Structure 1
Amino acid sequence: MRAAWRGVMPAPPAVALATLGVLLLAAAASTMADDLAGDGRALLAFRDAVGKHLAWNGSDPATACSWTGVTCEGGRVAVLRLPGAALSGRVPEGTLGNLTALHTLSLRLNALTGALPGDLAGASALRNVFLNGNRLSGEFPRAFLALPGLIRLALGGNDLTGAIPKEVGGLARLKVLLLENNRFSGEIPDLKQPLQQFNVSFNQLNGSIPATLRSMPRSAFLGTGLCGGPLGPCPGEPSPSPSPAGGQPASPRPANDGGKGTNEGGSGKKSKKLSGGAIAGIAIGSAIGAALLLFLLVCLCCRSGRTKTRSMEMPPPSSAPPVVTGGGRKPPEMTSAAAVAPMATVGHPHVSPLGQSTSGKKLIFFGSAAAVAPFDLEDLLRASAEVLGKGAFGTTYKAVLESGATVAVKRLKDVTLSEPEFRERIADIGELQHEFIVPLRAYYYSKDEKLLVYDFMPMGSLSAVLHGNRGSGRTPLNWETRSSIALAAARGVEYIHSTSSSASHGNIKSSNVLLNKSYQARLSDNGLSALVGPSSAPTRASGYRAPEVTDPRRVSQKADVYSFGVLLLELLTGKAPSQAALNDEGVDLPRWVQSVVRSEWTAEVFDMELLRYQSVEEQMVQLLQLAIDCVAQVPDARPSMPHVVLRIEKIKRSSERLEGRDQQQQQTSNLEEGDDQTSKPESAEGFNPFAP
């Protein structure tokens, strides 16, 4: 009986605890697997809505940690980075909001549209959100107001409207708030957080800048109707009183200092009277001081007069032809310290300086700057100007304004259009705003002068970088950078073509592909061929023009594709189409490449700097084949630009998988750690008055 009873007794405590631990671990592992699978299903729903081209394994959501752009921590999806990944459309409910362990979300530089889903508040672990550079619309996303742990929020470059909610001030951990280039209106709410970075420039805001934000730089508030702080006092506000001469504040005497220092001492004795010599000395000193002050005022007036008339005394920039560098290549961009002069003094050899022909006119701005101009014509004329290059359409200058802002100014030549025609055509160009096109910010028109104001691109043109310095100190362009430049330029051309069936760039070439500090490319000079006369239109000698083009002012979209194909060949071969001769017969670049490929010496085509990347040789050959397709002699045989973009995207994805890294993620990782160029303080070189 005792033995039978012993058989049904409970297990010892240690055994029971061990069994319970195993069961709990198994349950936790099962829960974690379920959570990861749930994360994977949410990501797949997100992909199906806005990024069907993403190469994620849809058959097994539990493998989400190995997908491109996804990082896991503790068995959950913690980071989603897909910047510049060609995502488009509206983010639906039941996708990102279900990623409850997600702490970093970067979807910037895509084409996401509409309002963000309300259930995004369900991603309660979010700390860093980067959605700048999309097409989001609607009011400020309320979901972010329910994320108390939010640290960085970047929503710049969208189409958001309405007021900035006062609840933003309740996000106690917020350090970075970037809302530039939207359509927010009303006043800035009182934000108590000690923000490290803040930008609301180019919005429809008004009112006074809150006291807690007045230490921010002026560039954080440009292009708005705000006042106060770095923008100057609001109406009715007292101006900051200047310090007394000598820089020392006045120290008023106390009304009662215990009887010391007054005319009568504590003993009741009368003060001594000044002697006649002392009075004479004071009088003479005062007269000498007044004379010195008068002399200083005269000197200042003379100096000011010389400054104002200096534009009449300085000669215009030299019209001598540019120096040709070694190898027979002529860099299209020339920079010289000796070329720096006030903008008002620049001129063509037979045209008066700018200051003599600009009275009664003003700069006309585009976009959000049209409401509140960041600078005026007088500011531009006072800027120091430096010649960047001379082309078929005119001369381009780097202009540094007194505020420190830097812009590029193109002075057009041979414009034969009437003022109404010019304004109509320039308005079409100014309305074209895209991340891969250098935007036209403003223009000036008078009978003798036509000026265009653009963003300044600090790295210059692709032509200068590709062909300029081939010496030992040169930093070569690697495959990833070249393929990224090709994709950015293709997207820019594609966007231009999408605006109208007859829209074209008209002058695609490497000197019109400009680079910023991180070598991201933008197209420039869009549409300028329609503004100038036939004498200024580029000739066929440049090597980019399609064979069917007879009037360089009328270029079809298929002719643009041909020019883009030549640009691709230039990127791959390192050879400039404008060279006098690529061989003894002087064959142009497309025919030379085709002849080498037909001889089965394809490797001989590529730039020596690319031959080191053997792992992506197949991708280089694919891009070469695309370029050859683009330069087909028959226009109808050339692909469309949307097709070109898709093929380059496919080539880039393939090469990134082979190399085991994603260049775009590397380029944006600094931003997501709060150290990107869009959130750094302005460099000593100057800032862009139109950019965040």
Structure 2
Amino acid sequence: MASPLWVLCWAACLLCLVPPARPDLASDGKALLAFRTAVGRMALSWNTTTSPCAWQGVVCENGRVVLLRLPGVGLIGPIPTGILSNLTVLRTLSLRFNALSGAIPSDLASLSQLRNLYLQGNRFSGEIPTFLFSIPNLVRLNLARNNFSGGISPDFNKLTRLGTLYLEENQLTGEIPNLDLPNLVQFNVSYNQLNGSVPQKLRSKPAAAFLGMSLCGGPLTPCPGEISPTSSVPSVPSSEAKKDHKLSGGAIAGIAIGAVAGFLLLLLIIILLCRRKSSKSGTAEVAAKPPEVEVALRDKGIVDGEPGNGVAAHRPPPTSVAAPAKGENTKKLLFFGTGPRTFELEDLLRASAEVLGKGTFGTAYKAVLEMGTVVAVKRLRDVSMPEKEFREKIEAVGAMDHPNLVPLRAYYYSNDEKLLVYDYMSMGSLSALLHGNRGSGRTPLDWETRSAIALAAAQGIEYIHSTAPSASHGNIKSSNILLAKSHEARVSDHGLAHLVGPSSTPNRVAGYRAPEVTDPRKVSQKADVYSFGVLLLELLTGKAPAQALLNEEGVDLPRWVQSVVREEWTSEVFDMELLRYQTVEEDMVQLLQLAIDCAAQYPDKRPTMADVVIRIEEIRKSSLRALEQDHHDHPQTMEDLDHLSLRTDSIPSIS
């Protein structure tokens, strides 16, 4: 008879040969149901008879849950420890804008593959837990708008892959540690209770990252004892300064003689210029009257620069631009820049012309010259100002040189006709790209293209604003963002708002106009920022501002988006063509937030275009890094993104 001890040893050996149960989709499902029981019993209506991969907010790969996204669904209360750690291959956890409270569960530290953690807009409290610093692959961490207290730990430097760190609108105290994170692109600690100076490694971040606190240095005001970079002057020993300031009598006499000579020379130059101007005026008075330029148009179906019903309409057959009557003296096209003049007014008048559309400031044509050159010609309307004033304003437009502006090549002025000649943009307008051909044959407009267009347009508008303190565009809308090959975006119609009369202004109000603008002719940089914010919302939602105004309540696009943000968060807002880019969802959210900031009701709440450019650049860098890293970690993921089953049936319509 075998001894009991021998039986126990034999049983133990058998147990060692049995492999432990491996986590699988069933264990993931049990963890999700335990999570629902704890914080989402009333919020989540998961059907337990179906696969967890079909549940709201759950995304699977290779039979495991890798993403859990439940933004703004009504989760409430503390998350117990020992639940989420069972999702052992989780890469993204997004629980933002709920009512979760207490401490962040410590078992998240065991999720070694966790890359994105979005907990903003909840009621989490206590100090930022130290276990977060042991999650090795964390790339994005958003703890904004909670109740965290205590200091910001220098142990954040352990998260060497961190690219996004948002801690704004908490109750954090103390100084900001010297964070040395080589991949950090997005950073914000605004509206806490921090003090001291901005660390050197963070001084390249915009001022918007440090608002509402007693901080100094870097993008903020200099700290006590610091010298502003713009006002730094090499110091001079006091003895040497005194020696330099003690001038001899001969030096003083020389300065006086030089000043008198300079004054006399300046006076002589002014007299010569006045005589030259008088001579030119006399010549102009005897010149023949400018010709009338008649353009035959067939523009049936064109509505304010865009084909009717948002569909590419049949364009009219080529028409011709008639030459002036025989015997009339003609003026010439006036070109900008020093490039070769490959055509003249007569060539332009003989060219075949195709109507591109009627816009706010006139009608645009595609003109094909006899030598094969293609240009865009805009025939202005409602321009009634003296020639001298017109030339001054249009020459300021022609002097603008930026890769994200449609360049003005030449212009023609007469009492009856004003023509502007631009480079022709072969890909049409952003409006046509967004809203035209929404049928089955449409090529989806991806995130990379949309964010690139947003950045290029912002850079073009920023350049316009930089040319003068009061310089503005005045008519920013998607039909004025034109696309060259490879979807390179360029801003058009810049500077024209200052040329037209009051009858042209009503077309500019539909959805883009800032609320403080009562006279559309009186434009400002802050009004431009508002219009650009609406443009960003249009890019992200796929909804035209005029379409938003047609809904039952008549609310504009910014107010509609903000109402959805408050009630259901932004998963209900994005264009369906963007929902497949889940890896960069947080970047899309950040761009949407920027759009809302730009479209703030009060002008002083809006950022400058320089700040807008910086924020879009950060968003694009972050998304590029996320896509590259995700593709590196999971090579199959990028190919499979297009085939993911996405829940798009709940997206509301405002049409």
Task: Provide TM-score, normalisation by structure 1.
Answer: 0.47
Task: Provide TM-score, normalisation by structure 2.
Answer: 0.50
